[in-house]
Amino acid sequence: MNHSNQINRCRAWNCTKQNLKEHRETVNAFGTATKSVLRAIVILSDEIPDHRIADPAPRMIAAEIYRGSSYGPKHPLAIPRVSLVVDMVHALGWVDEGTYLTGPVATPDQLARFHDLDYIAAVMQAERDQSLPVEMMERFGLGKNGNPIYPEIFRRPATAAGSSVMAANLIKDGGIIHHPAGGTHHGLKDRASGFCYFNDPVLGIYALLDSGLDRVLYVDIDAHHGDGVQYAFAEDERVLTVSMHQEDLWPKTGAIDDIAGGMARNLPVPGGMHDDEMRYVLFEYLIPLGLSFAPQAIVLQCGCDTLAEDPLSRQLLGNQSIWEVVGTMTRLAPRSLVLGGGGYSPYGVARCWSGVWATINGIEIPDVLPITAENILRVIKWSHSRGRQPASELFTTLADPWRGGAIRDEVRDRVKRLRGYGV
């Protein structure tokens, strides 16, 4: 690591401290972000050091395998997700043949950089036979506990894994990749877990490390703890993993005092988190931590199951605060891999991750969607009760209204406590 670069980043951060202090004092005084605070944040964002590399332009990696693939009719992942994002950004004219790339299926050798060979073979066998002996299902977590055996059980997660490896190779000299099918952060070395069969964030981080990097920051803002990534790098001083998650959700790991082997930071937050609290965490914790760690690359898992309309969490975020995290954190390193993750409202996923792509490209979000994009959202079929009468704004707009509120004492206290662990 070039320590002079780290010193320069710390000096740049010192130049913004007064602005951040003013932001804190205003929020502390009023408990919520007023219009004056919103203006102050825009100014502060411009003053945060920008380590992005302008050339090449950001690129998106996806694949057609996600179109029509389903975990089963009653599973939370019965819904379309990545295909909606792909269709939306094309309909909006935000990608072209130079910025939209097709992801490959990872080879068994690539998967074996993290996963056990016996487990890889079991997933391949499950796709081939569409069944497994009971003892193999028990051993590998396949066909059980929300990890069904479905037609693309190997190819679909292997494509997400291959895309993360591809992305890491593409940004080894700098750049930003958006990989919305990525973010399968629960996958374990030897078994499926939490809807995740292969852990593409881990494989992407290993590819970055294998390219010669030695300071990678992983930030996870999914509603669920990024357990699989933390376990993979618990003892690796080259990777700092940070997870902000709802405190009472599965897998119920990631307590605030869990720092693994020293390279993990966890911020469990109560249900009901809103945009002002997300902004508070960003400016009070994530930015200072990122600037202190001075990463050569950032891997950002931006699951959107924290949105108010998502059925699997009790958080109350709008998509603008997620975009703010993405737009800010990707400034802190010359290389960024922006992943998807959880998200179980098809409207929420399509709108949020399309906006993520706009954010990393500096594209202005339209107030009203063109009819081509609106129609993509209108034809979604979602059998969940929340899909029966969707609000009209979910069809006609991309940005949610800012969903603010008072910053609760438990959020302040936990951020303060976590800051005590340092880098």
Structure tokens given for 264: 């993990």
Catalytic positions: 186
The sheet carrying 264-269 orders its strands as 100-102, 59-62, 175-179, 335-339, 297-301, 216-220, 239-246, 264-269
Which residues, listed in sequence order, are joined to residue 218 by a DSSP beta bridge? 241, 299
Q: Which amino acid is at 293?
A: F
Q: What is the pLDDT of residues 355-379, one digit of tens each?
A: 999 999 999 999 999 999 999 999 9
Does one domain contain both 32 and 67? no
Does one domain contain both 380 and 326? yes
Q: What is the structure's pLDDT at 318? A: 98
Structure tokens given for 368: 């009203």
Would you call the peptide bond into 76 cis, given omega within 30 degrees of 0 as the criterion?
no
- Looking up tokens 């079991």 gives 122
Asked if 61 and 167 touch (Cβ cutoff 8 Å), the reply is yes
For residue 59, what are the CA distances in angstroms to 15, 23, 66, 176? 32, 33, 18, 7
- The gap between the terminal CA atoms of the chain, to the nearest Å, is 15
Query: What angle is formed at CA 35 by the lines to CA 30 and CA 36, rounded to 5 degrees?
Result: 75
Residue 400 domain-assigned (yes or no): yes
Please state, in angstroms and rounded to a whole number, the distance separating the CA atoms of residues 269 and 58: 31
Residue 130 domain-assigned (yes or no): no
Q: What is the structure's pLDDT at 325? A: 98
Please state, in angstroms and rounded to a whole number, the distance separating the CA atoms of residues 45 and 351: 23
Does one domain contain both 277 and 392? yes
Domain that holds residue 8: 1-49
Q: What is the structure's pLDDT at 385? A: 86
Would you call the peptide bond into 56 cis, given omega within 30 degrees of 0 as the criterion?
yes
Q: What is the pLDDT of residues 168-187, one digit of tens each?
A: 999 999 999 999 999 999 99
Q: What is the pLDDT along the chain (423 residues), one digit of tens a residue?
A: 444 444 344 444 444 444 445 444 444 433 443 333 333 344 455 678 999 998 999 999 999 999 999 999 999 999 999 999 999 999 999 999 999 999 999 999 999 999 999 999 999 999 999 999 999 999 999 999 999 999 999 999 999 999 999 999 999 999 999 999 999 999 999 999 999 999 999 999 999 999 999 999 999 999 999 999 999 999 999 999 999 999 999 999 999 999 999 999 999 999 999 999 999 999 999 999 999 999 999 999 999 999 999 999 999 999 999 999 999 999 999 999 999 999 999 999 999 999 999 999 999 999 999 999 999 999 999 989 888 889 999 999 999 999 999 999 999 999 999 999 876
Q: Supply the DSSP symbol for 271.
A: T
Asked if 226 and 299 touch (Cβ cutoff 8 Å), the reply is no
Task: Give the relative orientation of helices 346-361 and 319-329 as an angle to the nearest 10 degrees.
Answer: 30
Residue 42 domain-assigned (yes or no): yes
Does one domain contain both 257 and 391? yes
Q: What is the structure's pLDDT at 30? A: 34
Would you call the peptide bond into 151 cis, given omega within 30 degrees of 0 as the criterion?
no
Structure tokens given for 280: 């508070």
Q: Would you tell me how many other CB atoms lie within 10 Å of the CB of residue 154? A: 23
Q: What is the CATH number of the domain that holds 283?
A: 3.40.800.20
The beta-strand segments (E) located in 63-131 are: 100-102
CA pseudo-torsion sign 157, 162, 166, 168: positive
Q: What is the structure's pLDDT at 389? A: 86
Does one domain contain both 263 and 412? yes
Does one domain contain both 293 and 177? yes
Residue 126 domain-assigned (yes or no): no
Does one domain contain both 11 and 87? no
Does one domain contain both 265 and 381? yes
Provide Rg for the chain, Cα atoms.
20
* Number of structural domains the chain divides into: 2
For residue 46, what are the CA distances in angstroms to 19, 327, 328, 329? 11, 11, 9, 13
